[in-house]
Structure 1
Amino acid sequence: MSGRKELLAVQFAACADQVNWFVPLKQSVEGLTAEQAAWDATGTNSVWNNVQHLTFWNNRYLARYKGESVTDSVSNNSETFDVSAVDITEENWSNAVEALLSSLHNWRNTILDSTEDQLNTLVSIDHKELWWESIANIAIHNAYHIGQIIEIRKKQGSWKPYNWHI
Protein backbone atom coordinates (compact mmCIF):
# COMPACT_ATOMS: atom_id res chain seq x y z
CA MET A 1 0.00 0.00 0.00
CA SER A 2 1.33 3.41 -0.89
CA GLY A 3 1.56 6.22 1.61
CA ARG A 4 -0.93 8.29 -0.37
CA LYS A 5 -3.56 5.53 -0.42
CA GLU A 6 -3.11 4.90 3.27
CA LEU A 7 -3.43 8.60 4.10
CA LEU A 8 -6.60 9.03 2.06
CA ALA A 9 -8.13 5.85 3.51
CA VAL A 10 -7.35 7.01 7.06
CA GLN A 11 -9.01 10.36 6.33
CA PHE A 12 -12.25 8.67 5.27
CA ALA A 13 -12.17 6.32 8.26
CA ALA A 14 -11.72 9.36 10.53
CA CYS A 15 -14.69 11.06 8.88
CA ALA A 16 -16.87 7.95 9.20
CA ASP A 17 -16.35 6.31 12.56
CA GLN A 18 -12.72 6.17 13.66
CA VAL A 19 -12.17 8.54 16.56
CA ASN A 20 -9.01 10.52 16.03
CA TRP A 21 -8.31 14.27 16.10
CA PHE A 22 -11.95 15.18 15.61
CA VAL A 23 -15.30 13.56 16.30
CA PRO A 24 -16.35 11.41 13.31
CA LEU A 25 -19.79 11.42 11.72
CA LYS A 26 -21.09 8.35 13.56
CA GLN A 27 -20.40 9.89 16.95
CA SER A 28 -21.45 13.40 15.87
CA VAL A 29 -25.03 12.21 15.25
CA GLU A 30 -25.19 9.62 18.03
CA GLY A 31 -28.42 9.86 20.03
CA LEU A 32 -29.89 12.50 17.74
CA THR A 33 -33.61 12.11 17.02
CA ALA A 34 -35.15 12.80 13.62
CA GLU A 35 -36.80 15.93 14.98
CA GLN A 36 -33.48 17.19 16.37
CA ALA A 37 -31.73 16.33 13.09
CA ALA A 38 -34.29 18.38 11.16
CA TRP A 39 -34.14 21.33 13.59
CA ASP A 40 -33.67 24.48 11.58
CA ALA A 41 -31.70 27.14 13.37
CA THR A 42 -32.27 30.47 11.68
CA GLY A 43 -29.49 31.20 9.23
CA THR A 44 -27.98 27.74 9.15
CA ASN A 45 -28.68 24.32 7.75
CA SER A 46 -29.97 21.51 9.92
CA VAL A 47 -27.93 18.44 10.77
CA TRP A 48 -30.09 16.50 8.31
CA ASN A 49 -29.39 19.10 5.60
CA ASN A 50 -25.65 18.60 6.12
CA VAL A 51 -25.96 14.80 6.02
CA GLN A 52 -27.99 15.07 2.78
CA HIS A 53 -25.41 17.41 1.24
CA LEU A 54 -22.46 15.18 2.13
CA THR A 55 -24.21 12.07 0.86
CA PHE A 56 -24.96 13.75 -2.47
CA TRP A 57 -21.39 14.89 -3.11
CA ASN A 58 -19.66 11.77 -1.77
CA ASN A 59 -21.85 9.48 -3.89
CA ARG A 60 -21.54 11.68 -6.96
CA TYR A 61 -17.76 11.82 -6.89
CA LEU A 62 -17.42 8.17 -5.94
CA ALA A 63 -19.49 7.19 -8.99
CA ARG A 64 -17.37 9.45 -11.19
CA TYR A 65 -14.16 8.00 -9.76
CA LYS A 66 -15.39 4.48 -10.47
CA GLY A 67 -16.25 5.48 -14.04
CA GLU A 68 -20.00 5.10 -13.50
CA SER A 69 -22.44 7.45 -15.15
CA VAL A 70 -23.79 10.22 -12.95
CA THR A 71 -27.41 10.94 -13.66
CA ASP A 72 -28.36 13.17 -10.76
CA SER A 73 -27.80 16.85 -11.27
CA VAL A 74 -28.45 20.11 -9.48
CA SER A 75 -28.67 23.64 -10.78
CA ASN A 76 -27.05 25.04 -7.64
CA ASN A 77 -25.36 23.68 -4.53
CA SER A 78 -28.19 24.69 -2.19
CA GLU A 79 -30.31 21.93 -3.75
CA THR A 80 -27.94 19.33 -2.30
CA PHE A 81 -29.00 20.31 1.22
CA ASP A 82 -32.74 20.03 0.51
CA VAL A 83 -34.69 17.51 2.58
CA SER A 84 -38.09 19.17 2.20
CA ALA A 85 -39.53 16.11 0.41
CA VAL A 86 -38.41 13.73 3.16
CA ASP A 87 -40.79 12.66 5.91
CA ILE A 88 -39.21 13.44 9.27
CA THR A 89 -39.26 9.96 10.81
CA GLU A 90 -36.75 8.04 12.87
CA GLU A 91 -36.48 5.44 10.11
CA ASN A 92 -35.72 8.04 7.43
CA TRP A 93 -33.18 9.74 9.69
CA SER A 94 -31.47 6.43 10.42
CA ASN A 95 -31.44 5.63 6.70
CA ALA A 96 -29.91 9.04 5.92
CA VAL A 97 -27.08 8.48 8.41
CA GLU A 98 -26.49 4.93 7.15
CA ALA A 99 -26.38 6.16 3.55
CA LEU A 100 -23.63 8.64 4.38
CA LEU A 101 -21.67 6.17 6.50
CA SER A 102 -21.93 3.63 3.69
CA SER A 103 -20.64 6.17 1.20
CA LEU A 104 -17.67 7.03 3.44
CA HIS A 105 -16.85 3.33 3.90
CA ASN A 106 -17.19 2.76 0.15
CA TRP A 107 -14.76 5.60 -0.47
CA ARG A 108 -12.27 4.08 1.96
CA ASN A 109 -12.49 0.64 0.35
CA THR A 110 -12.34 2.06 -3.18
CA ILE A 111 -9.24 4.06 -2.30
CA LEU A 112 -7.52 0.97 -0.90
CA ASP A 113 -8.39 -0.95 -4.07
CA SER A 114 -7.08 1.85 -6.31
CA THR A 115 -3.83 1.88 -8.19
CA GLU A 116 -1.40 4.78 -8.17
CA ASP A 117 -2.25 5.31 -11.84
CA GLN A 118 -5.94 5.77 -10.97
CA LEU A 119 -5.13 8.23 -8.20
CA ASN A 120 -2.84 10.20 -10.54
CA THR A 121 -5.44 10.52 -13.33
CA LEU A 122 -7.06 13.87 -14.06
CA VAL A 123 -10.60 14.17 -12.71
CA SER A 124 -11.63 15.40 -16.17
CA ILE A 125 -10.10 17.15 -19.13
CA ASP A 126 -11.57 20.51 -18.09
CA HIS A 127 -10.83 19.96 -14.39
CA LYS A 128 -7.04 20.10 -13.97
CA GLU A 129 -6.98 18.34 -10.62
CA LEU A 130 -5.67 14.82 -10.06
CA TRP A 131 -8.03 12.35 -8.44
CA TRP A 132 -5.91 11.99 -5.30
CA GLU A 133 -6.11 15.78 -4.81
CA SER A 134 -9.87 15.79 -5.32
CA ILE A 135 -10.32 12.85 -2.94
CA ALA A 136 -8.28 14.65 -0.27
CA ASN A 137 -10.51 17.71 -0.70
CA ILE A 138 -13.63 15.55 -0.40
CA ALA A 139 -12.34 14.25 2.94
CA ILE A 140 -11.70 17.81 4.13
CA HIS A 141 -15.20 18.78 2.98
CA ASN A 142 -16.62 15.93 5.07
CA ALA A 143 -14.66 17.01 8.15
CA TYR A 144 -15.83 20.62 7.71
CA HIS A 145 -19.52 19.66 7.67
CA ILE A 146 -19.12 17.19 10.54
CA GLY A 147 -17.80 20.13 12.57
CA GLN A 148 -20.88 22.11 11.53
CA ILE A 149 -23.09 19.26 12.75
CA ILE A 150 -21.52 19.50 16.19
CA GLU A 151 -21.90 23.30 16.22
CA ILE A 152 -25.59 22.97 15.29
CA ARG A 153 -26.07 20.47 18.10
CA LYS A 154 -24.38 22.83 20.54
CA LYS A 155 -26.74 25.66 19.52
CA GLN A 156 -29.64 23.26 19.86
CA GLY A 157 -28.53 22.02 23.27
CA SER A 158 -28.44 18.39 22.14
CA TRP A 159 -24.64 18.00 22.18
CA LYS A 160 -23.07 16.11 25.03
CA PRO A 161 -19.29 16.30 24.88
CA TYR A 162 -17.98 13.10 23.42
CA ASN A 163 -15.59 11.20 25.67
CA TRP A 164 -12.77 10.28 23.35
CA HIS A 165 -9.10 9.62 23.60
CA ILE A 166 -6.37 9.82 21.02
Structure 2
Amino acid sequence: MDNQTSILITELKKLLNGGGAHVGFKDAVADLPFNLLGEKPHNLPYSIWQLVEHIKIAQWDMLEFSKDGSHQSPKWPDEYWPKALAPTDEAAWNNTLKQIDSNLNEFIALLDAADLFEAIPHGDGQSVLREALQIADHNAYHVAEIVVIRRLMGAWKS
Protein backbone atom coordinates (compact mmCIF):
# COMPACT_ATOMS: atom_id res chain seq x y z
CA MET A 1 0.00 0.00 0.00
CA ASP A 2 1.40 3.38 -0.92
CA ASN A 3 1.63 6.30 1.52
CA GLN A 4 -1.25 8.25 -0.06
CA THR A 5 -3.61 5.29 0.22
CA SER A 6 -2.51 4.76 3.82
CA ILE A 7 -3.28 8.40 4.61
CA LEU A 8 -6.66 8.10 2.87
CA ILE A 9 -7.56 5.00 4.89
CA THR A 10 -6.60 6.74 8.13
CA GLU A 11 -8.80 9.72 7.24
CA LEU A 12 -11.70 7.46 6.19
CA LYS A 13 -11.53 5.69 9.54
CA LYS A 14 -11.71 9.03 11.35
CA LEU A 15 -14.62 10.11 9.17
CA LEU A 16 -16.53 6.87 9.71
CA ASN A 17 -16.05 7.15 13.45
CA GLY A 18 -17.66 10.57 13.53
CA GLY A 19 -15.35 12.89 11.70
CA GLY A 20 -13.92 15.96 13.35
CA ALA A 21 -16.25 18.72 12.23
CA HIS A 22 -19.47 17.40 13.71
CA VAL A 23 -20.98 15.16 16.37
CA GLY A 24 -20.44 11.43 15.89
CA PHE A 25 -23.11 8.78 16.28
CA LYS A 26 -22.01 7.61 19.74
CA ASP A 27 -22.12 11.15 21.11
CA ALA A 28 -25.50 11.81 19.48
CA VAL A 29 -27.13 8.89 21.29
CA ALA A 30 -25.16 9.05 24.55
CA ASP A 31 -27.17 9.46 27.74
CA LEU A 32 -30.43 9.56 25.81
CA PRO A 33 -33.41 8.87 28.06
CA PHE A 34 -35.15 5.70 26.89
CA ASN A 35 -38.61 7.27 27.17
CA LEU A 36 -37.71 9.85 24.49
CA LEU A 37 -36.74 7.38 21.76
CA GLY A 38 -40.24 7.22 20.27
CA GLU A 39 -41.08 10.93 20.44
CA LYS A 40 -41.67 12.99 17.28
CA PRO A 41 -41.62 16.64 18.38
CA HIS A 42 -43.12 19.37 16.21
CA ASN A 43 -44.64 16.81 13.83
CA LEU A 44 -41.25 15.69 12.54
CA PRO A 45 -41.51 12.59 10.33
CA TYR A 46 -39.26 10.29 12.40
CA SER A 47 -38.46 9.44 15.97
CA ILE A 48 -34.91 8.95 17.17
CA TRP A 49 -35.55 5.20 17.28
CA GLN A 50 -36.62 5.18 13.64
CA LEU A 51 -33.55 7.19 12.62
CA VAL A 52 -31.20 4.90 14.54
CA GLU A 53 -32.81 1.77 13.11
CA HIS A 54 -32.58 3.31 9.63
CA ILE A 55 -28.87 3.99 10.16
CA LYS A 56 -28.44 0.38 11.26
CA ILE A 57 -30.26 -1.07 8.25
CA ALA A 58 -28.59 1.17 5.65
CA GLN A 59 -25.10 0.73 7.09
CA TRP A 60 -25.56 -3.06 7.27
CA ASP A 61 -26.76 -3.06 3.67
CA MET A 62 -23.72 -1.13 2.45
CA LEU A 63 -21.38 -3.40 4.42
CA GLU A 64 -22.96 -6.58 3.06
CA PHE A 65 -23.04 -5.22 -0.49
CA SER A 66 -19.32 -4.40 -0.22
CA LYS A 67 -18.34 -7.94 0.72
CA ASP A 68 -21.00 -10.35 -0.57
CA GLY A 69 -22.03 -10.77 -4.20
CA SER A 70 -25.14 -12.71 -3.23
CA HIS A 71 -26.42 -10.04 -0.82
CA GLN A 72 -29.96 -8.87 -1.47
CA SER A 73 -30.68 -5.34 -0.34
CA PRO A 74 -33.89 -4.58 1.52
CA LYS A 75 -36.79 -3.20 -0.51
CA TRP A 76 -36.57 0.59 -0.77
CA PRO A 77 -37.98 2.45 1.10
CA ASP A 78 -40.27 0.17 3.10
CA GLU A 79 -37.63 -2.15 4.51
CA TYR A 80 -35.17 0.62 5.35
CA TRP A 81 -37.48 2.35 7.83
CA PRO A 82 -39.05 0.71 10.89
CA LYS A 83 -42.76 1.18 11.42
CA ALA A 84 -42.55 1.24 15.23
CA LEU A 85 -41.85 4.64 16.75
CA ALA A 86 -39.93 3.19 19.68
CA PRO A 87 -38.01 0.03 20.56
CA THR A 88 -39.90 -2.68 22.38
CA ASP A 89 -37.51 -2.49 25.33
CA GLU A 90 -34.06 -1.34 26.37
CA ALA A 91 -32.54 -4.63 25.20
CA ALA A 92 -33.73 -3.92 21.64
CA TRP A 93 -32.22 -0.42 21.84
CA ASN A 94 -28.91 -1.74 23.14
CA ASN A 95 -28.81 -4.50 20.52
CA THR A 96 -29.32 -1.96 17.75
CA LEU A 97 -26.50 0.22 19.10
CA LYS A 98 -24.22 -2.82 19.31
CA GLN A 99 -25.05 -3.88 15.75
CA ILE A 100 -24.31 -0.40 14.40
CA ASP A 101 -20.95 -0.42 16.18
CA SER A 102 -20.13 -3.97 15.10
CA ASN A 103 -21.04 -3.37 11.45
CA LEU A 104 -19.07 -0.13 11.39
CA ASN A 105 -16.01 -1.86 12.83
CA GLU A 106 -16.36 -4.64 10.27
CA PHE A 107 -16.54 -2.09 7.46
CA ILE A 108 -13.50 -0.27 8.83
CA ALA A 109 -11.59 -3.57 8.83
CA LEU A 110 -12.61 -3.97 5.18
CA LEU A 111 -10.80 -0.71 4.39
CA ASP A 112 -7.51 -2.37 5.35
CA ALA A 113 -8.25 -5.54 3.38
CA ALA A 114 -9.76 -4.25 0.13
CA ASP A 115 -8.48 -2.20 -2.76
CA LEU A 116 -10.33 1.07 -2.15
CA PHE A 117 -10.44 2.02 -5.82
CA GLU A 118 -11.26 -1.30 -7.46
CA ALA A 119 -14.83 -1.73 -8.63
CA ILE A 120 -16.81 -4.15 -6.50
CA PRO A 121 -17.23 -7.15 -8.85
CA HIS A 122 -20.97 -7.57 -8.32
CA GLY A 123 -21.77 -3.85 -8.42
CA ASP A 124 -22.18 -1.41 -11.24
CA GLY A 125 -19.13 0.73 -10.65
CA GLN A 126 -19.18 1.11 -6.88
CA SER A 127 -15.93 0.77 -4.93
CA VAL A 128 -15.17 0.30 -1.25
CA LEU A 129 -14.10 3.96 -1.21
CA ARG A 130 -17.49 5.02 -2.54
CA GLU A 131 -19.29 2.85 0.02
CA ALA A 132 -17.15 4.30 2.83
CA LEU A 133 -18.00 7.84 1.78
CA GLN A 134 -21.66 6.93 1.42
CA ILE A 135 -21.80 5.40 4.92
CA ALA A 136 -20.09 8.48 6.39
CA ASP A 137 -22.36 10.89 4.52
CA HIS A 138 -25.55 8.97 5.27
CA ASN A 139 -24.75 8.55 8.95
CA ALA A 140 -23.74 12.21 9.38
CA TYR A 141 -27.01 13.35 7.81
CA HIS A 142 -29.13 11.30 10.18
CA VAL A 143 -26.93 11.98 13.22
CA ALA A 144 -27.64 15.68 12.65
CA GLU A 145 -31.36 14.90 12.67
CA ILE A 146 -30.96 13.02 15.96
CA VAL A 147 -29.21 16.03 17.49
CA VAL A 148 -31.95 18.39 16.26
CA ILE A 149 -34.66 16.16 17.73
CA ARG A 150 -32.78 16.01 21.02
CA ARG A 151 -32.51 19.80 21.05
CA LEU A 152 -36.24 20.17 20.38
CA MET A 153 -36.97 17.84 23.30
CA GLY A 154 -34.53 19.64 25.61
CA ALA A 155 -32.38 16.49 25.82
CA TRP A 156 -29.15 17.81 24.29
CA LYS A 157 -26.11 18.89 26.25
CA SER A 158 -25.66 22.32 24.68
1:132 to partner: Cα distance: 1.0
Would you say the 8 A contact 1:35–1:88 is kept in 2? no
Distance 1:39 1:105 in 2: 29
* Runs (5+) with no aligned partner, structure 2: none
Structure 1 residue identity aligned to 2:25: L
Q: Alpha carbons of 1:85 and 1:43: their partners in 2 closer, same or farther (altered >3 Å)? A: closer
Percent identity, aligned pairs only, is 22
Q: 1:1-166 alignment to 2 at 5 Å?
A: 2-14=6-18, 20-41=20-41, 42-67=43-68, 69-71=70-72, 73-74=74-75, 76-84=76-84, 87-114=87-114, 118-123=115-120, 127-161=124-158
Would you say the 8 A contact 1:64–1:70 is kept in 2? yes
RMSD: 2.4
Matched residues, number = 153
Would you say the 8 A contact 2:117–2:129 is kept in 1? yes
TM-score, normalised with respect to structure 1: 0.79
In the other structure, the counterpart of 1:164 is none
Distance 1:123 1:35 in 2: 42
Would you say the 8 A contact 2:50–2:81 is kept in 1? yes
* Runs (5+) with no aligned partner, structure 1: 162-166
Higher strand share: 1
